[in-house]
């Protein structure tokens, strides 16, 4: 039997499709699909922040909100509205993207990033971050780099990239899963979480393994953003 149920190699991600400019009403938008997990992100702003006591007179603030659509879970319906899980993911997503955006030119403003998951099969926060960073670039927000994100996990003592839902449940105690987001140029980490038990050495090995995939994803994100302008003719 192969290690991974869908026959992937340990370092292989699921199939990825990335597309920018998918929501006309938004100032910037993107779709990021990896396997059966699909995130759509839309950016609105910079615009004035209300209530005013939240405003920062020195720079604009970034506000990401992660949400699973009611039919996007593999189990029963996800009730719309507040959940502690989506609050936390919204927060770590904002923190994953904050280091690359420059909002000093927009005091007292907010840049809202709405991330909706249309369907999920594990890896949804990473897909959300990938879509959100593309949407920010699409909106013309000043950024020093793209932010790719993907998880590294451990299946039968082997480190593997991009766990899917089936793999997450292979281990009785939940397969260890480490979502990581990175600034490719400097290889600095902006999101790092872990559920499950791994050794110190596995963590270090996992980090070097995941970096390769993150660079590949960043290339895909950039390619998708450029694709929008391929039809532009210059005299």
Partner 1 sequence: MNNNLKDHLKKSLKQDVRVDGRKKHEHRDITIEKGAISTAEGSARLTAGDAEILAGVKAEVREPWPDTPDAGSLMVNVELLALSSPDFESGRPGIESIEPSRVIDRGFRESGALNLKNLCIKKGEAVYGLSIDIVPLNYDGNIYGLGGLAALAALQDTELPGLTENNTIDYDAEGPAFSLKRKPIPITVYKVGDLLLVDPTDEEENIADARLTITTLDDNKVCSLQKGGSAPLTDEDFEQMLNIAFNTREKLMEALDE
Binding region for partner 1 (CB under 8 A): 22-26, 36, 40-42, 44, 65, 67, 69-77, 80-81, 112, 114-116, 118-121
Q: How far is the CB of 90 from partner 1 (least distance, A)?
A: 11
Mapped onto helix, strand or coil, the DSSP state of residue 20 is strand
3-state secondary structure 192-216: ECCECCCCHHHHHHHHHHHHHHHHH
What is the distance between the alpha carbons of residues 95 and 233, in angstroms, rounded to a whole number?
Answer: 38
Q: How far is the CB of 2 from partner 1 (least distance, A)?
A: 22
Q: Nearer Cβ to partner 1, position 42 or 183?
A: 42
Q: How far is the CB of 215 from partner 1 (least distance, A)?
A: 28
CA-nearest of 214, 210, 225 to 18 is 225
Q: Nearer Cβ to partner 1, position 120 or 151?
A: 120
Q: How far is the CB of 117 from partner 1 (least distance, A)?
A: 9
Q: Nearer Cβ to partner 1, position 120 or 175?
A: 120
DSSP string, 32-45: EEETTEEEEEEEEE
Q: Nearer Cβ to partner 1, position 7 or 81?
A: 81
Backbone angles phi, psi at 105, to 5 degrees: -80, -5
Q: How far is the CB of 225 from partner 1 (least distance, A)?
A: 19
Cα dihedral 13, 211, 170, 86 in deg (nearest 10): -90
């Amino acid at each position: 039997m192969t290690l991974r149920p869908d026959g992937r190699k340990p370092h292989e991600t699921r199939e990825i499709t990335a597309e920018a400019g998918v929501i006309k009403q938004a100032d910037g938008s993107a779709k990021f699909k990896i396997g059966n997990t699909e995130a759509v992100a839309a950016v609105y702003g910079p615009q004035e922040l209300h209530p005013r006591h939240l405003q920062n007179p020195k720079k604009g603030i970034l506000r990401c909100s992660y949400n699973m659509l009611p039919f996007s879970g593999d189990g029963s319906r996800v009730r719309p509205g507040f959940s502690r899980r989506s609050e936390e993911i919204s927060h770590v997503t904002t923190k994953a993207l904050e280091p690359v955006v420059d909002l000093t030119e927009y005091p007292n403003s907010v840049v809202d990033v709405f991330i909706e998951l249309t369907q999920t099969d594990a890896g949804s926060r990473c897909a959300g971050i990938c879509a959100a960073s593309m949407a920010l670039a699409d909106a013309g927000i000043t950024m020093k780099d793209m932010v790719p994100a993907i998880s590294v996990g451990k299946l039968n003592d082997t480190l593997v990239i991009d766990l899917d839902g089936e793999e997450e449940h292979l281990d009785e105690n939940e397969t260890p899963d480490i979502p990581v987001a990175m600034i490719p140029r400097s290889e600095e980490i902006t999101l790092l979480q872990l559920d499950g038990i791994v050794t110190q050495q596995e963590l270090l090995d996992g980090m070097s393994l995941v970096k390769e995939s993150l660079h590949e994803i960043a290339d895909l994100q950039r390619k998708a953003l450029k694709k929008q302008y391929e039809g532009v003719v210059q005299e």
